[in-house]
Amino acid sequence: MMVDPIQVRDLHFSYGKEEVLSGIDLELRHGEVLGILGPNGSGKSTLMGIICGIRKDWNGLVKIMGEDLHSLSVRKLARIVSYIPQSFEPSFDLKVETIVSFGRNPHLRRLGNLTNEDYMVIDDSMRLTEVYEFKDRSFSTLSGGEKQRVIIAKALAQEGKILLMDEFTTHLDPGHARRVGKIATDLVRAKGLSAVAIFHDINQAVEISDRLLFINNGRVIASGEVWDVVTPEIIRQVYGLKSKIMENPISGLPLVVFYD
């Protein structure tokens, strides 16, 4: 029996007086992609911020690979958890390779420099995400899809067992969103990783995720296998919208159509 990569029990978090998370429970199982869905301001990104160590001062229990999150240093956590943000805008022009090399930082000795092995990991990551050809280009000159692939390469170079993805295809057109989404999920399977991904598009979430978790007002509304939780009742509770669920003729998965 393998320990769940992420285990969260009764997690609370407040910005000042306003409680954003009011008792979240979730577990990420080994090898799965867990999709998180919820309206704007429901607390999804805060939850992810806590798991990757950006947000402090939360209450409850969070275990990463069986270890209490409080007991993990920033460096140690960064060796387990890689984060792919919605967008990434460095203030200065940096080369693609430099950005991918950021992923090696938690593995370096305190004052050490990148070693040959680090460069091998960096090159491999860039090949897998198909950014190797433009590794010497400046990041700011890339298209949205290329930029997200560079960020995925950075996360891969980090060699964490857990991948966190925060609406990582939101700014892309459908073609690039599919391609980038596929690159990420293929890597999760091929490398035996586990992933939590926040989605805006429920149909994309259904396609990519093994299980789904719906959040609203800082609480979990439902979680489980796609066919169990993608129901008109739950969608109404989460988004306040009427919907009809059909079977996607291509994938056989649920397909959600909204109406008023």
Instruction: Please count the CA atoms within 13 angstroms of the CA of 217 that sit on its side-chain side.
Output: 5
CA–CA distance, 213 with 230 (Å, rounded to integer): 10
**Residue 18 touches another protein, criterion: CB under 8 A:** no
Q: Min. distance of Cβ 45 from another protein in angstroms?
A: 11
Q: Min. distance of Cβ 123 from another protein in angstroms?
A: 17
Q: How far apart, in Å, are the Cα atoms of 56 and each of 51, 59, 112, 147, 164? A: 10, 9, 28, 29, 17
Residues 6+ apart with CB under 8 A from 99: 88, 90, 139, 150, 151, 154
CA–CA distance, 74 with 94 (Å, rounded to integer): 24
**Residue 70 touches another protein, criterion: CB under 8 A:** no
Q: Min. distance of Cβ 29 from another protein in angstroms?
A: 22
> Smaller CB distance to another protein: residue 93 or 228?
93
| 3-class SS of residue 211 | strand
115 is written with which tokens?
A: 């070693």
From 3, 54, 120, 241, residue interacting with another protein (rule: CB under 8 A): 54
Subset of 92-151 contacting another protein (CB under 8 A)? 92-95, 98-99, 102-103, 105-106, 108, 111, 113
**Residue 75 touches another protein, criterion: CB under 8 A:** yes
Subset of 210-239 contacting another protein (CB under 8 A)? none
Q: Min. distance of Cβ 122 from another protein in angstroms?
A: 13
Q: Min. distance of Cβ 4 from another protein in angstroms?
A: 21
Q: How far apart, in Å, are the Cα atoms of 37 and each of 205, 206, 212? A: 8, 10, 7
Please choose, out of 6-14, 26-34, 46-54, 234-242, the segment that lies near another protein by the rule CB under 8 A.
Answer: 46-54
From 49, 145, 218, 254, residue interacting with another protein (rule: CB under 8 A): 49
Per the CB < 8 A criterion, the answer to whether 137 and 97 are in contact is: no
Burial group, residue 163, by CB count within 10 angstroms (0-12, 13-18, 19+): buried
Give contact residues for another protein (rule: CB under 8 A).
49, 52-54, 74-79, 81-83, 85, 88-95, 98-99, 102-103, 105-106, 108, 111, 113, 154, 158
